[in-house]
Amino acid sequence: MHPELFPEFRSELIPAGDGIFIHALTGGQGPALLLLHGHPQTSAIWHKVAPELARHFTLVMADLRGYGDSSKPNGGARSADYSKRVMARDMLQVMQHFGHERFKVMAHDRGARVAHRLALDHAGSVERMVLLDIAPTLAMYANTTDEFARAYWHWFFLIQKSPLPERLINANPAAYVRDVIGGRSAGLAPFDLRALAEYERCMALPGAAQALCEDYRASADIDLEHDRDDIEAGHLLDVPTLVLWGEQGVVHRCFDPLKEWQNVATNVQGHTLPCGHYIAEEAPGPLLEAALPFLRGG
């Protein structure tokens, strides 16, 4: 982790069982708040909002299994070791390691999918939750259009049989990061060069490309099974939830995020923010303005 991005935070490796270690940055004061990043990034995404959040919360900014400096196990059958159920359990173990039996969550992209499963499987642990720029995984796959498939090409590239996508990513990990991030609505302009360097460093780590693909393979397979099981059982998300998404992003163009979340949740509100996909880096001020009152409530 680039030390200048988080000068007031501690870096730790936390055991999460089965030989897995999760890297996290910790600091701040107040109630516990877990922050989870997305693809193809790390906990560095929070560097613009962490100082203000730390005035109100004890922050745990974790790298998801397979990302950043966290462990990168093999995926196993059906990529089950990267199911959101397993990745959510990692985060529960991390928070319990720090003594946080109940906590709040703010999560972006892949991390928001982990947070969704965390709040479904461990609702008693999650007080309230902010999800950034996603609709539910099942809804996005079920309602895929030509426009969505072209814009979110990586959803369909990364799930291809190994080792094809891994080989192509490993040929130039830094280019993969910059092309994916820079291909969104805002380009590379909003990103601190130190954060970009961190994303590039972590994508080049041994096992990172495979882990990335296994995360997406799980979402296109076993995660959908878990989501369908919940719907069939009438198991709805029952944690106060705020969903925020970029008005310049693909999710806004291709889906109705609030409606999709209302289909699977009992207590959800949300709206757009003036940015694209990478909310915490493109629009840190509007994000804090929207998320802080919600997170501090209840």
Marked catalytic residue, from 37, 39, 252, 277: 277
Domain that holds residue 112: 10-296
Instruction: Please spell the DSSP secondary structure of 236-283, one letter per residue.
Output: -B-S-EEEEEETTSHHHHH--HHHHHHTTBSSEEEEEESS-S-HHHH-
Q: What single-letter amino acid sits at 12?
A: E
For the stretch 272-296, pLDDT in tens is: 999 999 999 999 999 999 999 999 9
Q: Looking at residue 136, which CATH number applies to its domain?
A: 3.40.50.1820
* pTM to 2 decimal places: 0.98
For the stretch 11-54, pLDDT in tens is: 999 999 999 999 999 999 999 999 999 999 999 999 999 999 99
Q: Is the pLDDT of residue 2 over 90?
A: no
CB-based contact 63:42 (threshold 8 Å): yes
| Residue among 241, 240, 242, 252 at smallest CA distance from 277 | 252
Q: Is the pLDDT of residue 298 over 70?
A: no
Over range 213-242, report the average pLDDT: 98
Residue 232 domain-assigned (yes or no): yes
Residue 5 domain-assigned (yes or no): no
Quick one: pLDDT at residue 275? 98
Residue 80 domain-assigned (yes or no): yes
Residue 3 domain-assigned (yes or no): no
Report the distance separating Cα 284 and Cα 70, nearest Å: 25
For the stretch 124-175, pLDDT in tens is: 999 999 999 999 999 999 999 999 999 999 999 999 999 999 999 999 999 9
**Catalytic (active site) residue 229:** no
Residue with tokens 């509007």: 286
For the stretch 172-198, pLDDT in tens is: 999 999 999 999 999 999 999 999 999
Residue 1 domain-assigned (yes or no): no
Quick one: pLDDT at residue 3? 75
Quick one: pLDDT at residue 85? 98
Residue 2 domain-assigned (yes or no): no
How many domains in the chain? 1
For the stretch 64-110, pLDDT in tens is: 999 999 999 999 999 999 999 999 999 999 999 999 999 999 999 99
Q: Which burial class, exposed, middle or buried, applies to 116 when counting CB atoms under 10 A from its CB (0-12, 13-18, 19+)? A: buried
Specify the 3-state DSSP secondary structure of 269: strand
Helix (H) or strand (E) holding 237: none
| Residue among 115, 150, 151 at smallest CA distance from 132 | 115
Quick one: pLDDT at residue 181? 97
**Catalytic (active site) residue 256:** no
Marked catalytic residue, from 69, 81, 90, 109: 109
Q: Is the pLDDT of residue 1 over 70?
A: no
